[in-house]
Structure 1
Amino acid sequence: MNDLLLDNPAATDALGARLAQTLPARAVIHLHGDLGAGKSTLARAMLRALGVTGTIRSPTYTLVEQYPLPAGGLALHLDLYRIGNAGELEFLGLDASEARLWLVEWPERGQGALPPADMEITLAVAGTGRSCQLRPHTACGKAWLDALAST
């Protein structure tokens, strides 16, 4: 279950839906991969599956997009590609207490200023699809991966 091949965009959407379906009460995902690897696509699929309606913007230029979740709490989608150092995150006004889900692209740029990842997902172009590695880093992440494997 840790290593997947996502043959097409529909497979990426399906993984996002399964991640949303098995989402723990609170979770932090660090998304890794080159530009165009599918990080935003997977994040968008999760947000849709969690019931977010309307436009789901990429946070490439805004750095963070916040989405109220129908079941309560917020989802934070961050893209840290354009920040110079982790200290810049304090100016974003992120309220970790309200966040049920953190989706963080380019988390290495915010190292030390972000909550630790429960799950690390690495995406890479693989032919016409994407390879995907899911790595849990906490007990919550391990339980999540176990739940995901049983769906």
Structure 2
Amino acid sequence: MTLPHRTILETHVLDWPDETACAASAAALAAAPALRDAFIELRGDLGAGKTTFVRHLLRALGVGGRIKSPTYALVEPYEIDGGAVWHCDFYRFDDPREWDDAGLRDLFAAPGLKLVEWPERAAALLPACDLCVELAVVDGGRRRVTLQVHTERGRALLAAMTR
């Protein structure tokens, strides 16, 4: 199956020397008004920091309590002031029937923030994302973070993260 080409409007690379830098980027993103209904893909190898970034982002958005990885549940929902957040992890996604069974078609059609780890596992089913955050471990634990913008909303999110 051939996937549609996604236009990249802009690319920016960040360097996170440590988790404090990750938390700072998450806090900057959380302050962006455009985040409310955004779709953000998180890419990278196991251990690259995708879930850590999401946890920092959710904390910055005011989520209290335990923030679980949705690796086995597929989706973890959260309520924040002004809306809903869904954290999806498609690492174990291998059957397109799960898409409808889990109600993901409705989830992606509804307003709210969608954060998706391992989007490539469900790529044919996902709408175009606003921002793709790709994390790579380099030089003793540093993270190289490549941000790809795919929409105008994504441009606003990038601006918030790179101020």
TM-score by length of 2: 0.85
| Residue in structure 1 matching 2:126, options 103, 109, 114 | 114
SS in 1 for 2:136: strand
* Alignment match, 1:73: 83
* Alignment match, 2:56: 45
Contact between 1:30 and 1:117, CA under 8 Å: does it hold in 2?
yes
* Alignment match, 1:149: 162
* Alignment match, 1:125: 137
4+ long deviations beyond 6 Å: none
Tell me whether 6-15 or 107-116 shows the greater mean CA deviation. Answer: 107-116
* Alignment match, 1:102: 114
SS in 1 for 2:112: strand
Equivalent AA in structure 2 for residue 135 of structure 1: Q
Instruction: Find the aligned partners of 1:116 and 1:23 in 2 and give their Cα distance.
Output: 20
Instruction: Find the aligned partners of 2:21 and 2:13 in 1 and give their Cα distance.
Output: 14
| Post-superposition offset of 1:115 | 2.6
Residue-pair matches, total: 149
* Alignment match, 2:151: 138
Instruction: Find the aligned partners of 1:86 and 1:129 in 2 and give their Cα distance.
Output: 35
Instruction: Find the aligned partners of 2:96 and 2:52 in 1 and give their Cα distance.
Output: 24
- Gap regions ≥5 residues in structure 1: none
| Residue in structure 2 matching 1:5, options 15, 32, 35 | 15
* Alignment match, 2:45: 34
Contact between 1:76 and 1:99, CA under 8 Å: does it hold in 2?
no
| Post-superposition offset of 1:103 | 0.5
TM-score by length of 1: 0.91
* Alignment match, 1:60: 71
Instruction: Find the aligned partners of 1:27 and 1:144 in 2 and give their Cα distance.
Output: 9
Instruction: Find the aligned partners of 1:143 and 1:11 in 2 and give their Cα distance.
Output: 20
RMSD: 1.6
Listed one character per residue, the Cα deviations across residues 51-72 of structure 1 (whole Å, up to 9, x for unaligned) are 0010000111111100011x22
| Post-superposition offset of 1:50 | 0.4
| Post-superposition offset of 1:92 | 1.3
Instruction: Find the aligned partners of 1:46 and 1:93 in 2 and give their Cα distance.
Output: 24
Listed one character per residue, the Cα deviations across residues 65-117 of structure 1 (whole Å, up to 9, x for unaligned) are 00011x22211001100011444221112433544211100001111322321
SS in 2 for 1:2: strand
